[in-house]
Structure 1
Amino acid sequence: MKRLFITYLLFLSLSSCKEFLDIKPHEETIPESAEEFSALLHTHLNDIDYGTSAIILSSSNVATNESACDNLEVALTSEDKSSLKTYIGNIAVSTSSYYSPYQIIRDCNIILGQLKDTESDMAKNVLGTTYALRGVCYYELMRLYCDVYDPLQKSQLGLQLVTTFDMEERPIRSSLEETMTLIEEDLKKALSYNVQEPIWRFTADVVKGYLARFYFWTRQWDSAIYYAGEVIKNHPLVDREGYKAMMTNGYSLKGNMLIKSELISSSSSEQEGAGTYNSLNYRPVSKRFIDTFSDTEKSNDIRYEMNFSALRIATKFIFSGMRSAEMLLIRAESYYHKGSEDLALADINTLRGNRILNYEPLTLSTLPEPIPGTDYITQDVTGAPLTKLMALILTERRKELFLENDRFYELKRNGRPEFWVGVNGIKYTNRKFMYNFAIPIRDTKLIPGLQQNEGYEDYIIN
């Protein structure tokens, strides 16, 4: 098993991918006006629209990541599908997950360093979008390559922070707190420009959503509650029928979607496009996940109806982006960690009331017992054992955000559980260290002092 992992890792490390700091325009004129810089920016926004972005993934990339987690049953895959992953170790060695966001950061740094106009409407939209893009890139890199923030730990590793376009700069990793500060500053600056036109994608409401995500990930509960509430206020939840209409949508924003990948078709196949990925037909949905729905919910919950077929084939529209149901879940869990269990349950009742027919709201005294054997997560982000309410919140998140590139991060955020899967007589174990992706090997070789994430020493040939 270890030999297979080493081979796969070395293959990726030696593939032809330019270094993220070693790319510069040759024989090109650096733009000067805001209009010229906007063309550079729209290249990356266009990638989101076509599903080729590094930060808001395509349907196929979301499905690939989901296939490495526990909502789909690896052992029952009906035929060899190399595009589907076996376990988290397969995705933890991706070099594109590292280099591609840094290439966007490079272009953002060019804009922020060279754009002189700061007063025109065009310049304000360009600057607001640029700060948003850079902040989002660092946020996504932080979630993949750094430990989940623990305020009791003072020596957690952050990212290589690059804020200027400098061909000679080869930084080592900052602290996690320094990384968090830069992300927060970028997103706050983006919000200060109050971008409103949808063509820029990262509008003020989208930036508020990313701030909610950032504060939630870094356990800053009050701020997470505030920004999630701001988004919910402007984009309230849709009901069952609205959800059904929204989640059968293809190439457009519907319902309370704020931003999404694949607004334009890039597929040559009529059978596969936004929200679909045919390879998933060969990997059944996990019985552990299906069993999180009670008998009543199996009859009345629109998500049970739309997520999978009777043959356990995933039928849900694969969504990659942001919608306000996630904000409600962020706020509910943040309320819980603040000790406001009544407010947390009220948000969960709101979500369930918009998904379950004839729903009877739960009370703190009627919370269901967690169903044994349905979840590998046994502790919350603070390390505390799951209570009934916390288990309910996490289960609702699992149901609502199925096939939305959320499950890996939930496993990582809540204890990094170790579990194994068996395929063709081989046992593959998801280890704790694999939830922090590996820094590309050649970077750790070329940059003195650049630290690799723990755990990969035994899996990398020097």
Structure 2
Amino acid sequence: MRTYIYIVALLMLFTSCDDWLDIKPKGKIIPQKVEDYRLLMDQAYSRGESVGVVESYGGDLYLSDDIVITDDRFESKYGESIRNAYTFEDHIYLEEQEDPDWTTIYNQIYMCNIVIAEVKSATGGEDEKNQLYAEAIIHRAFAYLNLVNLYGKHYNSSTAATDLGVPLLIEPAIEGSLERSTVKDVYDLILSDLDAVYNDLPGVQEQSYRPSKASASALLARTYLLMGDFNKALSNADESLSYYNFMYNYNELPKNAWYANMIDLPNNHENKEQILWKEPQNSYELIYPSQQLKDLYDLENDLRFTGMFETEWFPPYADKIYLQEYLVGRTCGLSVPEMILTRAECNARNGNISDAMSDVNLIRQNRIKTEAYTELTATDAADALIKVKQERRRELAFKGSRWFDIKRYNAYDDANISIDHSVAGKSHILLPGDNKWAQPIARKYILKNREIEQNPR
């Protein structure tokens, strides 16, 4: 029987062991032609209950050391789930609450699985069918990479075959087991899928939400970096940049019409630095940078600070906030700066100091005020790696990177990074090796699907 596709609205929720995908249709369409599947893959933003291909994870925002919630804002400006995440509680959501990251990403996976299962038998040209199939594979691989790093332990070759990952759904079924696959199983699927479809993708695409060879290579680079395979991360970052390497020079961007100090960076869908455009599902949150993060910036000359942060208007606050979405946007997809910094990190780790610092300075030339720019140098490979990590943190702040970076630094570099979110007179410190580096799975899903094993707390 042909699966019904709901292009206007597609809702996928976990409900019970026997019926764990609850599809509530509006505007039912049976796809028959390649054009029908192109409509699915080109739905960037939410329509009805279908999230589209752009929305992605954002819950990591309140976990890392890039953000601070002060005592005077803790109760008044943030809801319970955000407060729970920030203070590393055993459970983030109430028993009846959805986890928006989990729901959003599995919604996309279901849609991708429909295209993967059916597009090859649709009417239309073979090349276009193969490309749509490949695009769905890339979106699904991106989804699973984020799921396994949010809800699983960090990849460790010695334990990945037994560490709990996430439910691995590869068919558009509406019932079946939600038993968690291992971290290794999830990574194996990602790598094999990306390799299998690479040649069916164009080098670049006009629309940044459509996957390409540039974004497939970038996703492989991110995957191998998270796995600690720095040689493969390097080669794939290079491959991605060989297809596409555009960067804005922030000195050349106009000022915002309403905020005198802020640069007028193009909106996310128009931002040409994006290799694969993705946005967090919580794009509209106010972000207060931690003092530790602010201390990394040249507060007078780094346009990533002077051009993107603004003093809050309303008393009693007189702090800097990151005015996201409306002015400078917040993304969590794959970008040219991320690939440059991935290449720089891998070169630093391999002792190629000159190449590493060349890429660091390439970023800085496009971000520091021209009259204040000076070239950074490194005394040795260890110093180069420190400077790369600092530049990465500045450039990718609030873009879905820092939480994962801390996990891998602790795993591969013995960095011993802890996070102190003490607030309202109570101590909340996440230490290296704590089980809470893997986020808890929302209780709603486990209560209705007993085969889902909770992360130990």
Normalised TM-score (structure 2): 0.74
The answer to whether residue 144 in structure 2 is matched with residue 148 in structure 1 is no
SS at match of 2:428: strand
Deviation at 1:138, TM superposition (A): 1.0
- Superposition RMSD on alpha carbons, in Å? 3.6
Given the alignment, which residue of 194, 203, 206 partners 1:198? 206
Contact 1:92–1:435 under 8 Å retained in 2: no
Counterpart-to-counterpart distance in 2, 1:445 and 1:251:
38
**Equivalent pairs, count:** 398
8 A contact 2:152–2:183 mirrored in 1: yes
Matches of 2:376 and 2:136, distance apart in 1: 44
Q: 1:82 aligns with which of 78, 81, 100?
A: 78
The share of aligned pairs that are identical, in percent, is: 19
* Aligned residue among 107, 121, 125 for 1:103: 107
Change (3 A) 1:224 1:244: farther
Match of 2:403 among 390, 398, 408: 408
Q: Aligned equivalents of 1:429 and 1:162: distance in 2?
A: 35
Q: Distance in 2 between matches of 1:76 and 1:187?
A: 45
1:61-72 pair list within 5 angstroms: 62=58, 65-72=60-67
> Paired residue for 2:129, among 108, 123, 134?
123
For residues 36 and 439 of structure 1, what CA distance do their matches in structure 2 show? 34
**Is it true that 1:217 corresponds to 2:226 in the alignment?**
yes
Relative to 1, partners in 2 of residues 1:242 and 1:324: Cα closer, same or farther, differing over 3 Å? farther
How far is 1:149 from its partner? 1.0
**Pick aligned residue for 1:398 from 351, 375, 393:** 393
Letter in 1 for 2:292: R
- Preserved contact between residue 88 and residue 434 of structure 1 (Cα < 8 Å): no
What's 1:359 paired with?
373
Q: TM-score, normalised by structure 1?
A: 0.74
Whether 2:259 is the aligned partner of 1:248: answer no
- Amino acid paired to 2:222: R
Question: Which deviations, in whole Å up to 9, do the C-alpha atoms of 1:353-380 show, x marking residues without a partner?
Answer: 332335333333289xxxxxxxxxxxxx
Q: Would the aligned equivalents of 2:113 and 2:172 in 1 still touch at CA under 8 Å?
A: yes
More off after superposition, 443-452 vs 148-157: 443-452
Distance 1:287 1:100 in 2: 31
Residue number in structure 2 paired with 1:229: 238
Shift of 1:132: 1.3
Once the two structures are superposed, residues 86-124 of structure 1 have per-residue CA deviations (whole angstroms, 9 ceiling, x without a partner) of: 416369556232233222222222222223148534323
- Given the superposition, is the C-alpha separation of residues 25 and 126 from structure 1 closer, same or farther in structure 2, using an over 3 Å criterion? farther
Change (3 A) 1:191 1:155: same
Spell out, residue by residue over 1:2-48, the C-alpha distance to the aligned partner (whole angstroms, 9 max, x if none): xxxxxxxxxxxxxx8646942357796642322223333334x3339
Shift of 1:54: 7.8
Residue 308 of structure 1 and its aligned partner are, at CA, apart by 2.7
What are the within-5 Å matches in structure 2 for residues 35-434 of structure 1?
A: 35-43=35-43, 45-47=44-46, 56-57=55-56, 62=58, 65-75=60-70, 77-78=72-73, 80-83=76-79, 85-86=82-83, 87=86, 89=88, 93=93, 95-115=99-119, 116-117=121-122, 119-153=125-159, 154-195=161-202, 196-199=204-207, 201-233=210-242, 234-242=244-252, 248-250=265-267, 252-261=269-278, 277=284, 279-280=286-287, 283=288, 285-293=289-297, 297-309=298-310, 311-315=318-322, 317-320=328-331, 321-356=333-368, 357=370, 358-365=372-379, 387-415=382-410, 417-430=417-430, 432-434=434-436
> Which residue type is aligned with residue 46 of structure 2?
D
Cα shift readout 1:128-181 (whole Å, capped 9, x = no counterpart):
221112111111111111111122335322222121233442042222222111
CA drift at 1:188: 2.6
Q: Aligned partner of 1:256: which letter?
A: E
Letter of the 1:157 partner, please give it: L
What residue ranges of structure 2 are gaps of 5+ in the alignment? Answer: 1-12, 256-262, 312-317, 411-415
